[in-house]
Amino acid sequence: MKEISVVELKSKMDANEEFQLIDVREPYEIDICSIGGESIPMATVLNQTEKISRDKPVIIHCRSGQRSAAVVMQLESAHGYENLYNLTGGILAYADEVDNSLSKY
């Protein structure tokens, strides 16, 4: 499984690089804090693969990186994705290392 750090993600955002950001947390978690991206909750992601790009990098994140890692592994093994990256440490790491104005929970 490929991973990307929160600092690398921020660099991609700042450079306006083309990628898809997917948040697999629940809607109530996104209400607490968000770094943007498309909301596809973990429980529904395997039923919504048509929303996940195959022709550009896709960065998947959650709160700590564990749920998103599980989603990446499922999508790679069950659907053959090769362009997925797990955000190491999730939004908690992003809040710690990039934007400490984000609420942590």
Q: Which residues are catalytic?
A: 62
> What is the number of other CB atoms lying within 10 angstroms of the CB of residue 27?
9
Closest by alpha carbon to 9, among 68, 50, 67, 51? 68
Closest by alpha carbon to 26, among 91, 85, 83? 91
Cα separation, 65 vs 69, whole angstroms: 6
Write the single-letter amino acid at 34: S
Cα separation, 26 vs 39, whole angstroms: 8
